[in-house]
């Protein structure tokens, strides 16, 4: 294997969408994957980029990705990295590709003086949980993630006009 990890570029949007859809199917959420290459072009490479992505390649063939963005810790007074998605094609798992992607993100966090590097994992995904723990990650058991989306997001946003 000739593993290379690089930052995604605008020409990778179709490839990233394909990998995102593969991830969604793995996570049993294929019905929720609506991202298009145009969405990624606009939000990763447009006038105001909101996220960044790394692509893992073997011989020029994309075999995995990590999509992330920077957040900010008010308590630490420092930025952080939030890993939105990490995915390695099933046939390439167990070869250190996920670890290499996470190590690159950790290095980015250290180089940019980030106070933390975090992500969420589905509670049923035992292989990923074991993998993350083996790398030194720990669950944030005192925290519960909340989300507002869809109609609830529209309703909440409308309250700003009241």
pLDDT reading at 162 higher than 80: no
Give me the pLDDT at residue 161, please. 81
Give me the pLDDT at residue 133, please. 95
Range list of β-strands (E), 50-155: 52-58, 61-73, 78-88, 116-119
Question: Rounded mean pLDDT of the chain?
Answer: 95
Marked catalytic residue, from 26, 50, 132, 146 = 132
Give me the pLDDT at residue 1, please. 83
Give CA–CA dist 118/13, Å, rounded. 24
Tell me whether residue 132 is one of the annotated catalytic residues: yes
Domain boundaries defined on the chain? 3-161
For the domain made up of 3-161, give the CATH fold. Aminopeptidase (3.40.630)
Q: Is 97 exposed, middle or buried (0-12, 13-18, 19+ CB in 10 A)?
A: buried
């Amino acid at each position: 294997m000739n593993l290379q990890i690089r930052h995604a570029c605008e020409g990778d949007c179709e490839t990233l969408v394909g990998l995102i859809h593969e991830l969604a199917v793995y996570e049993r959420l294929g019905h929720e994957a609506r991202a298009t290459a145009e969405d990624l072009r606009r939000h990763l490479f447009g006038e105001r980029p909101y996220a960044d992505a790394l692509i893992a390649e073997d011989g020029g063939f994309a075999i995995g990705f990590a999509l992330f963005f920077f957040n900010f810790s008010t308590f630490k007074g420092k930025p952080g990295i939030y890993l939105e998605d990490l995915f390695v094609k099933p046939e390439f798992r167990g070869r250190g590709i996920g670890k290499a992607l996470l190590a690159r993100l950790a290095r980015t966090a250290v180089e940019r003086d980030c106070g933390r590097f975090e992500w969420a994992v589905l509670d049923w995904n035992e292989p990923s949980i074991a993998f993350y723990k083996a790398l030194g990650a720990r669950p944030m058991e005192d925290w519960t993630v909340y989300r507002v989306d869809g109609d609830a997001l529209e309703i909440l946003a409308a309250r700003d006009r009241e």
